[in-house]
Amino acid sequence: MQFSGKVDIKAPREKVFAFVTDPQQVGQCGPGVESIEVIDETHFKARAKVGVGFIRAKFVMDMELVEAVAPERAVIRARGQAPGSAVDATGTMTLSQGADAGATVMDWQADLTISGTIASLGGRMIEGTANKLIGQAFDCIRSRLEG
């Protein structure tokens, strides 16, 4: 499944870049994240609780910052499992100068593969749920940067 969108953030690019490449900060905006464990500069582990319809699952996610070109581009790859389910995701964020000074436009793309029980039993609801959760994640990033 592929998703994409654009978020206008009233914050300078350097600040946005620093936020999205800091596991502790960006991690807080991940869907259902309960804890973040930083392993090194580019690797961290997240524990998250996600629900699709009547199915709820606790995921343990291995996250990796696979690309970071300050202050314009960051790519995060995530792979995680819950009992019987698995998620593989790549999120790409491209930052450009917004129309106003000190503003940033973030174009994002997410490539998501869901496998196992959640895909099988939650099939009809997955796309809507994923779209909603991803949207919430980027809204979270914006509000934290603007707040």
Partner 1 sequence: MAVEMEVPTQTTPEVGGMGHSVKRKEDPRFIRGAGRYIDDVVLPGMLWLDIVRSPYAHATIKGIDASAALKIPGVLAVITGADLEKAGLHWMPTLANDKQMVLPTDTVMYQSQEVAAVVATDRYTAADGVAAVVVDYEPLPVIVDPFKAMEAGAQVLRPDREDRPNNHIWHWESGDRDATDRALESAAVRVSQRMHIPRIHVASIETCGCIADWDAIRGQMTLHMTSQAPHAIRTVLALVSGLPEHNIRVKTYDIGGGFGGKVPVYPGYVLAVVASLTVGKPVKWIEDRSENLQADSFARDYHIHAEMGATADGRITSLKVRTLADHGYTDAAADPSKFPAGLFNVITGSYDFPDAFVEVDGVYTNKPPGGVAYRCSFRVTEAVHAIERMVDILAHQIGKDPAQLRMENFIQPEQFPYKTPTGWEYDSGDYGKALKLAMEMIGYDDLRREQAEKRERGQLMGIGISSFTEIVGAGPSHQFDILGLKMFDSCEIRVHPTGKVLARIGVQTQGQGHETTFAQIIAEELGFPVADIKIEYGDTDTAPYGLGTYASRSTPVAGAATAMASRKIREKARHLAAHLLEANPDDLEWTNGKFSVKGSPDRSKTIQEIAFAAYTNHPQGMEAGLEAVDYYDPPNLTFPFGSYICVVDIERSTGEIKIRRFVAVDDCGNIINPMIVNGQIHGGLTMGLAPALYEQITYDENGNNLAGTFMDYLLPTAVETPAWELGKTITPSPHHPIGAKGVGESATVGAPPAIANAVVDALWHLGVRNIDIPITPPKVWAILQEKGVAT
What are the residues binding partner 1 (CB under 8 A)?
Answer: 81, 83-86, 88, 113-117, 119-121, 123-124
Distances in Å between the Cα of 5 and the Cα atoms of 20, 29, 45, 106, 144 are: 16, 16, 25, 8, 18
Distance CA 75, CA 81 (A): 20
Q: Shortest approach of partner 1 to residue 76 CB, angstroms?
A: 18
Q: Shortest approach of partner 1 to residue 61 CB, angstroms?
A: 13
Choose among 141, 145, 135: nearest CA to 102.
145
Q: Shortest approach of partner 1 to residue 47 CB, angstroms?
A: 13
Which of 102, 123 has the CB closer to partner 1?
123
Which of 9, 112 has the CB closer to partner 1?
112
